[in-house]
Amino acid sequence: MIDFHNVWLPQIIDYAQLIGTGQLEAEWLGQVKRATSVTDPDELHMQVFDGLDADAIWNEWRQHDVISPGTPDALDRFLQALREITENDASVLVLTAQWESVKDSARALLRTVPSSYINDVGE
């Protein structure tokens, strides 16, 4: 089982930061040097929902006291937005309202977590 506090949650927050700051989008479009292994939307989905087993882990921890009062709902919205991505071509996805929704949900999640949970992306 993936450790929730030391692995899972920090990884999810890192994904939110990569998306919310626009870094992942810039990497996908070749505007900045690649600093992650998330090469496209399909890889993002695989890392979050297969590698981190987001649905199972979050279902187990959803009712626990997680960081701050707004975090569970924000995390629900972020995971749902990621789950709903259907476009695998990053250059097409980033132009859609769906991607704007993903970015908005990522930023909303980041607003709920203390700064101590936020890393410098691309480290």
Residue 92, pLDDT > 70, answer yes
pLDDT for residue 78: 98
pLDDT for residue 123: 41
pLDDT for residue 122: 46
pTM: 0.91
- What percentage of the chain exceeds 70 in pLDDT? 93
Domain boundaries, the chain: 4-115
Kindly report the number of other CB atoms within 10 A of residue 112's CB atom: 20
Is residue 38 within 8 Å of 26, Cβ to Cβ? no
pLDDT for residue 120: 59
Residue 114, pLDDT > 70, answer yes
Residue 57, pLDDT > 80, answer yes
pLDDT band at 121 (very low <50, low <70, confident <90, very high): low
| Three-class secondary structure assignment of the chain | CCCHHHHHHHHHHHHHHHHHCCHHHHHHCCCCCCCCCCCCHHHHHHHHHHHCCHHHHHHHHCCCCCCCCCHHHHHHHHHHHHHCCCCCCHHHHCCCHHHHHHHHHHHHHHHHCCHHHCCCCCC
